[in-house]
Structure 1
Amino acid sequence: MRFKTLIVAAAACLLASAAGAIAGENVQVGPRPYYLIENMDDGPLKESLKMCADKPLKRTAFSIGHRGAPMQFPEHTKESYEAAARMGAGVLECDVAFTRDRQLVCRHSQCDLATTTNILAIPELAAKCSKPFTPAKVDPATGEVLEPATAMCCTSDLTVDEFKRLKGKMDASNPAATTPEEFLGGTPSWRTDLYTATGTVMTHKESIALFKKLGVKMTPELKTPSVPMPFDGDYTQERYAQQMLDEYKEAGVAPSDVFAQSFRLADVLYWLKNDPEFGEQAVFLDEDGLDGFNQDKPETWSPTPAELKADGVRIVAPPLWVLVTVQDGRIVPSAYARAAQDAGLKIITWSLERSGLLADGGGWYYQSVKDVVRKPGDMLTLVDVLARQVGVIGIFSDWPGTVTYYANCKGL
């Protein structure tokens, strides 16, 4: 009897452990957040974050897995999503594109398969690419690359069954490649190829099932098509936008667990009008920054936060740099951030941990604060301003453990 009791107790323990893993207990952020804290300038923020070093961590919706955890895991793969969930991301992202047979799959761009998968290593699939591999032209005397290697392979070049034959890899290519195998290289030194052995690519429906199992909320992004729409004559943008939401309905996912995103305001307005339960927390990805946008000059904003609010948009998501500026040597909220607050918009931002080393100012994502961003620990200073002064409700990150640690420490 005692032996039977022990067996039952052990089984109960295993079930509790499995449930805990799904519910977000036993979150493990690894050493990176602690490294960043030690690297910070001395001051109250550093001391307050250090005080949380032994605090148990829980999953938080403030931490959003941008394509999973692609700093080290191939983006939009099962392995990347599971890593992000283990690091406490309470929301995971599937960027949504469509295949030739109009099935939805998780891919950051409709035509990025040449750099994010091994398609060029599978000849019969590589032959279907919109633009086949073209080797680099190299000066034989100097070794200088005169014309970089190129290839363009789209999800719409393949059926969903063909797509599922692919293996995800780190998003990279070698511009000096003279063979398809060489083109598959080029991973930046601050990332890694350690976790590319499997790289399980996923359909949108498979991502929904996985996210339900992991117990996280979901933020699908309807990717702007790289092919003319309507696709094949009758697959319109509206059908595409509706199909994405319909797959959540079919899976029984509550609208409150879905944050549908798009860079196209027309998509968000379509959801607000035609599927208001999901449209209520649809996210407009505002990326005006490529066309003369200045986060401190309202005359360059189009649309303005007030105009978005008037259109019914509730959540806006600009990149990191749009929300902050530098004043007296410190990172502070930008005029755009204050305008979004005044308009009553909720704010999400992207993407932390994507630029690699910050020694050179952090690149595109940190352009408005490049003069004061010089070392890894400065990342947490930025997070603190975004959380406490800008008031963002979530931060996309390529390595969610950093945001998870901050959110737990500050009670977000």
Structure 2
Amino acid sequence: MLAACSQTSQSDPNSHVQLGPRPFYLLAAMPEGGLKDKLSACQNGPFYPSRFSIGHRGAPLQFPEHTQQSYLAAAKMGAGALECDVTFTKDHQLVCRHSQCDLHTTTNILATSLASKCSVPFTPADPNQGTPASAKCCTSDISLAEFLTLDGKMDAANPHAKTVAEYLGGTPPWRTELYASHGTLMTHAQSIALFKSLGRHFTPELKAPEVSEDKSHLSQQQFAKALIDEYRSAGIDPAEVWPQSFNLKDILYWQKIAPDFAKQAIYLEDRDEPQHNSLERQVEALTLLHHPEQLTPTMAELAGLGVKIIAPPLWALVTVENQQLVPSAYAKAARAAGLDIIAWSLERSGPLRQGGGWYYQSINGQLEGQNQLRTEGDVLTLLDVLAKDIGVIGVFSDWPATTSFYANCMQLSIVK
């Protein structure tokens, strides 16, 4: 019987979702009421992956982002889709990193011989001049072979550092170094193979270049095409891929060269209000088809350009009315235009009891001087507003177990 159980768990990636204690810690912290009662009724599971639950860079609340360990943790916690932010190395190979130039904060490169290849070497803090410690190390500074020798670490740096060892610290206290002794970096192609083996969907984000384009670097269109090509080469069904970009031109380019993949392309943005129509704005809109980067289009104009999914930060979607969390004007405008919405990123910027950080700015201490999120359990309250009142189709999370728990209780995009 033990052999049969082992065989089942290895052959079925959906059979062993483990949420761990955090969702239930949050549940216990919720105020009494109907939502808590409903979530409490399903706390014994069983739990399955949900595509409502998206692993934001894996599970970086505790694991180094964009590493094999982080992705495996996110999948174990029921994330139905996993994110590889995509940039490229000096030899034009696609790799998973949040930005082209973050190796100095997300890897151990400064403690290796590759530090000599960094765009900007480590400079210690100078308190007399008031200058912080700094460095700049880019994936495009090194080859793929060199990239793969690095270890991933928690994304952080100590601006007061006098030494490299001090600079590589700085992890916020609400994260942990417990699982950060070694993080296995991955190429984009390796992430595709891993996510496929786990039975998960793919949501790659095409990153913007942070260095000048020249003959040694990919153009943005070459880069955008290369990302899609790696899914085609791996034989991945376009229906399982949700490509993302903050650059509207990337979305429109995918519509031209890969319409099958562009059907689920996600336009990322961080404006906080919908653009309003006016006669002047309608005249300006005539330039959108040829120069979309020059204007911020209205929600209706985005829909007219073929955009199907928009993804803003959490705080852009909610506000407070009569001491209740409610959809923002932005959220209402997006839904009125027929756009689907994905939100980012839950459990990203610190404990709610400490203000919650950047991702909660519109609802935590910013309106009427009130602290609208009062307990850690209000993470689940926010999820309920996003799902039921706004109708988002997915939520990025730094700890996907929380979103997976809510999605299972509400039967949202469950994969059995």
TM-score between the two structures when normalised by the length of structure 1: 0.92
Identity of aligned residues (%): 57
In structure 1, the partner of 2:264 is 281
- Structure 1 residues 143-194: Cα deviation after superposition (integer angstroms, max 9, x where no partner): xx82210000000000000000100000001111111111101111010011
In structure 2, the partner of 1:373 is 373
- Structure 1 residues 227-285: Cα deviation after superposition (integer angstroms, max 9, x where no partner): 1124527x311110000000000011100010000000000000011110001110000
In structure 1, the partner of 2:233 is 250
- Quote the Cα distance in structure 1 between the aligned partners of 2:123 and 2:336: 51
Counterpart residue identity of residue 174, structure 1: N
Aligned 8 A contact 2:275 2:299 in 1? no
In structure 1, the partner of 2:345 is 351
For residue 51 of structure 1, the aligned residue among 41, 66, 80 is: 41
2:122 equivalent to 1:133: yes
Aligned CA distance change for structure 1 residues 304 and 90 (closer, same or farther; 3 Å): same
Counterpart residue identity of residue 147, structure 2: F
- Quote the Cα distance in structure 1 between the aligned partners of 2:306 and 2:215: 29
1:47-86 equivalence runs, <5 A: 47-86=37-76
2:391 equivalent to 1:391: yes
Structure 2 residues without counterparts, runs of 5 or longer? 282-294, 366-371
1:199-214 equivalence runs, <5 A: 199-214=183-198
Aligned 8 A contact 1:112 1:154 in 2? yes
1:10-409 equivalence runs, <5 A: 11-20=3-12, 22=13, 24-122=14-112, 124-139=113-128, 146-230=130-214, 232=216, 235-288=218-271, 293-294=272-273, 302-371=296-365, 372-409=372-409
Aligned 8 A contact 2:90 2:216 in 1? no
- Quote the Cα distance in structure 2 between the aligned partners of 1:315 and 1:264: 13
- Quote the Cα distance in structure 1 between the aligned partners of 2:276 and 2:49: 37
- Quote the Cα distance in structure 1 between the aligned partners of 2:406 and 2:275: 27
State the shift of 1:138 in Å: 2.9
State the shift of 1:298 in Å: 7.5
State the shift of 1:62 in Å: 0.4
Counterpart residue identity of residue 214, structure 1: L
State the shift of 1:296 in Å: 9.5
In structure 2, the partner of 1:4 is none
State the shift of 1:360 in Å: 3.5
Structure 1 residues without counterparts, runs of 5 or longer? 1-8, 140-144
Aligned CA distance change for structure 1 residues 351 and 298 (closer, same or farther; 3 Å): farther
- Quote the Cα distance in structure 2 between the aligned partners of 1:382 and 1:298: 30
State the shift of 1:10 in Å: 5.2
In terms of mean alpha carbon deviation, does 344-353 or 365-374 score higher?
365-374
Aligned 8 A contact 1:62 1:90 in 2? yes
- Quote the Cα distance in structure 2 between the aligned partners of 1:17 and 1:377: 32
- Quote the Cα distance in structure 2 between the aligned partners of 1:295 and 1:380: 26
State the shift of 1:295 in Å: 5.8
State the shift of 1:297 in Å: 7.2
In terms of mean alpha carbon deviation, does 64-73 or 11-20 score higher?
11-20
Aligned length: 391
CA RMSD of aligned residues (A): 1.7
> Alignment partner of 1:332: what SS?
strand
